[in-house]
Structure 1
């Protein structure tokens, strides 16, 4: 008697794509942008902790094999080596997953790179909730860890346009940087708003009299989608994109907060220690009293699963943003 076979279920939990099904995307924008700037700057080198394919560093590796260094699964050694390269005039871009760059190699980033102010660019893939592999790979607290590190510039890009424009500015920046990398097929949305990335600056993408979304990273894309949806309810929503988390453009943010609009901060990061707390602190120190709601990940270890399901569960989806505004007004 034969035993019936059971079809084995598969999961796409590791696929780090948050693009909508019909959304315009650009493949590996970081790798191609790094190649472009490297053509003009021979001092640029690339390093990877055995994750070149999964951080789009393979694009640079294949085009510049003599300027690429495979460091293996040794993130501390990779950042130490990058520091040494910077000391002799090279400009390293060191890539790995965000969890390993921040949790595992923080001391090397802090003392070998940030303390002497070296031009080392740390590129962290899978920031926040951009993978369904669970807490071992979800860097939900990387901003909280790194915002306290002196001399470090932190960039959280929205899309491929942000990444393409940020890379040459990070290379030209004198001190160390940390880029929250969106890799693979990355949505391209900001060019529809006449946007230009400027390191250290926040940009208003659309105005609105009722609601102000203060957003960073992929959540700017969701804020723009939510603002468009809210028009059907005759709710006029503005979107202020904050791609540089540190140093924070407090001047622009505070100017936007000095209204009676509902403020919703949006970030692909835990509620602890990221953009939301930075905005609230800036408002408090400036004596600005305003209504602030937060769309961010909870202060807990997250579940594993498919990204669309997890974004709905933890409040990062466009539907969740729209509902939060509707119930808060």
Structure 2
């Protein structure tokens, strides 16, 4: 059953070819934009690699870069096909090329849609990655002399100031780790000895936070030590007074930042997907309407164009069967299936 059959007089075919040429170059620019958006997202994710536990989230920018580059090639060939569409002598040379071209184009167009879906669906993976990554980042904050972690403190401090956050979930995460290096502790001091002895793991824990947690908008000088000790500060109540440090955790701040970035990129790529789909649909109509002129000397007659010659299911199977047969043959060769013995008389 033919899907979406339409009649195309000569003037309509000319306008279709001209419009498609402009559309294909617009889609080429959009493909370059998609690649650029993927690069931007990749760069932003790599900037915070030290507070991310895994690289699963990189599948989104990687996919965007792949489909962006593929879109450049797809739409370049679409523009070349449009240029030859009105020349009955040149268009037939594309005949054997168009079937694999549409298969590859549809694959990358669907991949573009998957990238859009993933950009909205990766929140859980992003959050779990940041949860573990930030926990490790805070734990290694003091290791400025350890190779590979020399800039951990600097990166954490800059992140907390940039995103106006403190800790992983909140500022109390700093209470659970020793974030002051032993080289800056006076082990002859009774206070230091008592604090280390009071801890099972022998760590120097304090109810304080690094300076980068201080909120410069607070009118009160920053209180970053003994945050839970009311008597240590004048006119201070830990339970009721608004603390002058950032109360929001960095995980929440980073998730909001990256999801906002990915959602914005997803909306942009969705518009590129619609544009790319329009190019493929228009090119299919142009192809089928031009193929109807084959063997006809009068190129200005009215022809019929259609989207699919068969039903959707039959068309999909037509493209899948060669692939499935190839995979089946490859599997048989790998398993060493013996060839059938020749028949004897």
Q: Same fold (TM over 0.5)?
A: no
Structure with the higher helix share, 1 or 2: 2
TM-score computed with the length of structure 1 as normaliser: 0.22
Q: Which has the higher contact order (CA 8 A, sep 6+)?
A: 2
